């Protein structure tokens, strides 16, 4: 038997009813009678004042349900597919400024200014203008003399020191300028048997007439400050500076430990061409010392050595110390 859902649209607030096909005729007759009765009521006119033509079936305070709304167990509505995105909106106005950030970490102490700042950008080195004279400058070691030349300021004078020329492996390869007045901290009595040792450095030059008088004398040195200048360079193989922008502090000869089977390696240093040895040092060979000798190039024409056209074998190499 077929069942249908019938909505009494002509009866206000009528619920949806499930009915069989055999009852449809009865429903139709009842509905027809109801319509006829409603038409007669409209012909009689409106009801008296104060009476409502619509009978409220809902509790007070609730909206009157729509009589045309189906109240049966129909399937719930399904959500349709999403629509296409709309066009982008207009840009809004700028927002208010944010709160201040956290303070940064402290910067460096200015040591990088040695290579980035020209001294003329810091102070006026002329005598006039009322400016404060500079106090910083480029620091270099003046090998072979206990003093500084020109406008450079003496930081301290000392004696050249290094490892023994025929020592066992170990120790340092560089040459130091030791001050004459060392200060020790918590010294222990007695000589240590497992230490690195320092010795004075002597000249070992006996076949170069300009410097033969220095043979086996201790090497003097001085640490100097070129006030108002901020860069320094040692130029090997040339006794002049790169350009007139540089100041020549001193020129001399390139020296190092002698190349020999029993000698240790050392750094190359630039020794003043007019050296002054340590006063009172003897001219007798001291095997407990480092030894300095002149430097010569070794050249070849087919690689493996310096080019012979510019570095002929046997020529003593010069040097220069310059500041900017």
* pTM, two decimal places: 0.60
Express each pLDDT in 48-97 by its tens digit. Answer: 554 444 444 455 555 555 555 555 566 777 888 888 988 988 988 998 99
Residue 304 in contact with residue 237, Cβ under 8 Å?
A: no
Express each pLDDT in 174-201 by its tens digit. Answer: 999 999 999 999 888 877 777 888 889 9
What contacts 85, CB < 8 A, 6 or more positions away?
A: none
Distance CA 170, CA 82 (A): 81
H helices of 249-311, in order, are none
Q: Which two tokens stand for residue 31?
A: 């509905």
Q: Which two tokens stand for residue 230?
A: 């901020």
Q: How many CB atoms lie within 10 A of CB 272?
A: 22
Residue 71 in contact with residue 8, Cβ under 8 Å?
A: no
Quick one: pLDDT at residue 135?
82
Distance CA 77, CA 79 (A): 7
Residue 242 has phi, psi (to 5 degrees) of: -60, -35
Distance CA 10, CA 37 (A): 11
């Amino acid at each position: 038997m077929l069942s249908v859902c019938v909505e009494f649209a002509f009866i206000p607030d009528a619920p949806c009813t499930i009915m069989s096909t055999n009852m449809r005729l009865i429903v139709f007759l009842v509905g027809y009678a109801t319509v006829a009765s409603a038409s007669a009521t409209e012909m009689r006119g409106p009801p008296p004042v104060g009476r409502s033509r619509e009978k409220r079936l809902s509790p007070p305070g609730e909206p009157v349900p729509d009589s045309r709304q189906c109240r049966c167990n129909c399937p719930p509505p399904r959500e349709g597919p999403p629509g296409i995105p709309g066009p982008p909106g207009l840009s809004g106005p700028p927002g208010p400024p944010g709160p201040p950030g956290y303070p940064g970490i402290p910067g460096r102490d200015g040591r990088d200014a040695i290579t980035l700042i020209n001294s003329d950008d810091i102070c006026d080195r002329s005598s006039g203008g009322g400016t404060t004279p500079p106090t910083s400058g480029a620091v270099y070691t003046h090998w072979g003399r206990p003093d500084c030349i020109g406008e450079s300021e003496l930081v301290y004078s000392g004696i050249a020191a290094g490892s023994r020329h025929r020592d066992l492996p170990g120790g340092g390869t560089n040459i130091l300028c030791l001050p004459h007045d060392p200060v020790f901290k918590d010294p222990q009595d007695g000589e240590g048997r497992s230490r690195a040792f320092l010795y004075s450095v002597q000249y070992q030059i006996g076949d170069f007439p300009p410097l033969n008088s220095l043979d086996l004398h201790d090497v003097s040195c001085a640490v100097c400050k070129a006030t108002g200048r901020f860069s320094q360079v040692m130029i090997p193989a040339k006794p002049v500076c790169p350009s007139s922008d540089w100041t020549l502090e001193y020129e001399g000869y390139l020296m190092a430990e002698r190349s020999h089977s029993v000698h240790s390696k050392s750094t190359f240093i630039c020794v003043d061409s007019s050296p002054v040895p340590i006063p009172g040092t003897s001219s007798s060979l001291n095997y407990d010392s480092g030894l300095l000798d002149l430097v010569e190039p070794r050249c070849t024409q087919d690689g493996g050595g310096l080019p012979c056209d510019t570095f002929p074998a046997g020529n003593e190499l010069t040097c220069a110390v310059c500041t900017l």
